[in-house]
Amino acid sequence: MRLPDYIDFIIIGSGIAGLGTAVNCSKYGQTLVITKSTLLESNTYFAQGGIAAAIAPGDSPEAHYKDTLVAGADLCESDAVSVLVQNGPKRVQDLIAMGTHFDTTPSGSFDFGREGAHSIARILHARGDATGAELASVLANKAKEIPNIIIAENCLVADLIIQDNRCIGCWVLNDEGQFQAVTAKGTVIAAGGCGQIYKHTTNPWVATGDGIAMAYRAGAEIVHMEFVQFHPTALKNHNNPLFLVSEAVRGDGGKLITEEGKRFMVGVHPMEELAPRDVVARAIYHQQKAGREVFLDATSIKNFSSRFPTIYKACTEVGINPLTDPIPITPAAHFIMGGILADTYGRTNIQSLYVCGESACVGVHGANRLASNSLLEGIVFSERIVECLKDESSLPAVPPLSSHLEKPVVSAPVLEDTVRETMWSYAGLIRTEKDLLKALSKLDEIKMSAPINAYTLHNMLDVAKLIVSGALYRKESRGGHYRLDYPDQDAHWKELMVEHSIGSQPKLVLRTKRDSVLSFNDL
Ligand code: SIN
């Protein structure tokens, strides 16, 4: 379909952040949601565990705040975390009002789940372990009902259109294979993360870092890219993506064991299997490096098949009965804590360009995201963005645009796989300077042979390079970033962020929080 040449608001992406923003901003103008696959193909849809919010008796936003900061390893923005946890309960009520059914106990109260690094059971879940599917469906149905929202599926945004540091829209390859410019008063990137640049990931095929890459090329500030979260427990097999085995299984009593049946988290961290994700993922990785297979033993969970129906089905389909057999698991890339630098209204350094959800770095996750805070981030900040987005003024007369883009889009599966292999081998859970340099040179080699119109491949390469260069620069270990050659947290790096901005030359900038620039290096 041919998309409108002009619209009030463009939303790129259709997960909770994108659809949440669309529903909110459609009150103020015509809104176009562009998604490169179908409306439900997003990380949101596949989220299992749930959404964290301080609602349970005995819980409080203060306790949720504290848990989030501890998991974030001294790198969270405290103001942003306050916004997240204070607004969480209200936004959950909005989701319920839209038709979301969270699971309840026989007495009718919410059935709160427990996950890693949470001090209390505070995770709301739906249909057992299908929370993301429930939320994505509710939001998609809501968006489809609103006459002010146009949904464009199977349309690829190739680049943003920037004029005088203002984003005035984007170049889209529509579903008829035609490039067209769509201009708008305000553009929101809600295009999710980039797990698909790694060989092993829980993220669906669409998660190739497109939003972060196009914002970087447009001149947006990108930060904290070295912080990649590896989920400890994906079902181990040869699939891409790997099927997630929710942390909630450990919250309900699942234990990590080796093939000899020995638990190995005891003594590694006081919270054992429910330690922060980075700690658990590395402990599993070390077992694997020592030649041991690792399993999640959930046989003590008597109601497994009703509490975790999606996981039960996925396991039985590959011949594993979780009621009697330990589940073979492996860590897999799951979430990026870094992204496009934004304030708590989603504003970036580019006028009229906003960002929400996993593509953003608002500062709520620091070096390591607390479990089930990502759906919450999407819904809380999608409401705040609209506060500013609604006041975007009309576009100045837009001069005729000519496309610099070449068609047709080609996909380059072999080169894309080489990126995945490179990132897994040299920039994964455990990093060293030697490996990271190897990764950089391999990525440069791939770039040389990448066809100019392989848009996804170029996005993957841009994001991969941001991760590797950030990881090289941060000479310490913290949260999701672990350097074997700098294995400890270094107080010097506390509260600092590595920033990438394209300018004439990519460079890394060290900042204290979001203000004073301390130093920079040209790459
Ligand atoms: C999970 O269910 O383990 C994933 C939830 C999350 O990523 O926060």
DSSP state, 167? Answer: E
Probe ligand 1: pick from 68, 235, 244, 358, max atoms within 8 Å of CB? Answer: 244
Q: Are strands 228-235 and 507-512 parallel, antiparallel or unpaired?
A: unpaired
The encoded tokens of residue 149 equal 């929202």
Of 68, 49, 47, nearest to 119 by C-alpha is 68
CB 330 within 8 A of CB 234: yes
Local structure of residue 481 (DSSP, 8 states): B
Question: Cβ contacts of residue 64 below 8 Å, gap of 6+?
Answer: 52, 53, 54, 85, 88, 122
Please report the atom of ligand 1 found closest to the CA of residue 372: 8
CA of 278 to the centre of ligand 1 (A): 13
d(CA 439, ligand 1 centre) in Å: 28
Cβ partners under 8 Å of residue 476, min gap 6:
483, 486, 488, 489, 490, 492, 493
**229 CA closest ligand 1 atom index:** 7
Block residue for tokens 């496009």: 340
* Nearest atom of ligand 1 to the alpha carbon of 374: 8
- Mind listing the pLDDT tens digit for each residue in 127-180? 999 999 999 999 999 999 999 999 999 999 999 999 999 999 999 999 998 889
Q: What are the angstrom distances between the C-alpha of 325 and each of 76, 246, 257? A: 39, 17, 12
**Sequence-ordered list of residues with C-beta below 8 angstroms from that of 512, at least 6 positions apart, any chain:** 495, 496, 518
Q: Is 358 in the pocket of ligand 1 (CB under 6 A)?
A: no
CA of 371 to the centre of ligand 1 (A): 5
Check whether 211 has a pLDDT greater than 80.
yes
Answer yes or no: are the C-beta atoms of 154 and 140 closer than 8 Å. no
pLDDT digits (tens, 9 = 90+) for 390-437: 999 887 666 556 666 666 666 799 999 999 999 999 999 999 999 999
Active-site entry in 91, 122, 250, 277? 277
- pLDDT (0 to 100) of residue 502: 81
Task: Measure the CA–CA gap between 283 and 202, rounded to whole angstroms.
Answer: 19
Whether a cis peptide bond, with omega within 30° of 0, leads into 57 is no
Q: Is the minimum distance from the CB of 92 to ligand 1 under 6 angstroms?
A: no
Q: Is 194 in the pocket of ligand 1 (CB under 6 A)?
A: no
d(Cα 84, Cα 428) in Å, to the nearest integer?
A: 29
Distance from the alpha carbon of residue 276 to the mean position of ligand 1, in angstroms: 12
Q: 512 - beta bridge partners?
A: 496
pLDDT in tens, 217-268: 999 999 999 999 999 999 999 999 999 999 999 999 999 999 999 999 999 9
Q: Is the CB of 248 under 6 A from ligand 1?
A: yes
**Token pair 């796989």 in the structure block, residue:** 417
**CB atoms inside a 10 Å sphere around CB 522:** 9
Gap from CA of 488 to ligand 1 centroid (Å): 26
Q: Could you tell me the pLDDT band of residue 504, with boundaries at 50, 70 and 90?
A: very low
Does the beta carbon of 246 sit less than 6 angstroms from any atom of ligand 1?
yes
Judge if the beta carbon of residue 67 lies within 6 A of ligand 1: no
Mean pLDDT of the chain: 93
Q: How confident is the model at residue 98 (pLDDT cuts 50, 70, 90)?
A: very high
Contact at 8 Å (CB) between 436 and 426? yes
Give catalytic status of residue 277 as yes or no. yes
Are the C-beta atoms of residues 422 and 443 closer than 8 Å to each other? yes
